Structure 1
Amino acid sequence: MELDKKRKAYIFSIEEQLRLLDLITKEKHIIENKTTNKLTNDEKDQAWQRVTTVFNAVAIHHRNMEQLKTKYDNLKTKTRKIVAAQKNHVKGTGGGAPINDKLDPVVEAILKIINIKTVVGFENVFDSENDEFVNSGMDLNITDLPVMIINDDNISNDINTEIENIMPTCTEENAVTLMICNCLSI
């Protein structure tokens, strides 16, 4: 029974963490592959085995593959929490001390490895205050809009002053604009 008990491992030093992340960066295309089938899982196991072999060749403390995988997963989780805290602080209101913008070298190394969308999330393109939404409106040319001209030949105080609507001719480019203009003039 005592053999089943896990022995407490040594704490990873910063150098060991950076070394692990450097090795993972070289195998990133395999390790971070989101496909899960027999072939890719076997490739991932082989990649982790290579990382473990190279890591233990120069490491002071011997680590097995499961320890390295767990450490990498924990580092990714920690990075996501740090980035989320910074993001929430920036979007927050009120006072308080500014958050430290300088990131730990381990966090920076993780951000270079993982997909940035898994850290910061997707932007809400449907938010009406989103810059892309505000700037994506129809760019109407002033020449495409209907022009109202007051007939000034016989200017009088009469209420029935003639008003002409001069509408542009219909082409494929301004068909939508003409539809809008026709609706407005009704």
Structure 2
Amino acid sequence: MDTILSWTDERVTLLRQLWEDGQSASKIAAQLGGVTRNAVIGKVHRLGLSGRVLKPVEDATAARRKPAQEVEIETAIAVVEVEAPEPVAILSHRLAPDFPVPAAKPEPVALAASQRVTIMDLRESMCRWPIGDPTTPEFGFCGARSITGLPYCTHHAQIAYQPAAERKRDRRVAGFR
């Protein structure tokens, strides 16, 4: 499309008339020429043309109806014998004895204030687990010996790196889905 046709008063009037007649945006775009369906939809919204006058329902339903003698319907009835299903045992909400019981989570260990380190004292081999509120002067990092290749000590690595199945189970226990 080399030239862009503007929305003249005549084109807007025609758009309004076609929209009120119940024409689709695609049909209106084809009749107007030089505009896309999306351009028609955009203009309709900018003009505030929300409602449409629907064509009378009687015309559409009358065209679909045929007299009863002209319609032939073949009906086939299939008889199928179905066996009753086996009774299913209802499972209890309690865990079965052979089902693995989740291990209790280790309780968080309170670190002594002397183990907490500031960002200035943090070294490569120290745990970088943040402790406290960053906006308070007491904020610091764990500072315990970190696991080689990880930024956390053993305790904080267990918290940070949980297997996916364990995370799902913990979310179900907490009431999340």
- Pick the TM interval, shorter chain: under 0.3
Higher relative helix content: 1
Structure of larger gyration radius: 2
Higher relative contact order (CA 8 A, sep 6+): 1
TM-score (norm 1): 0.17
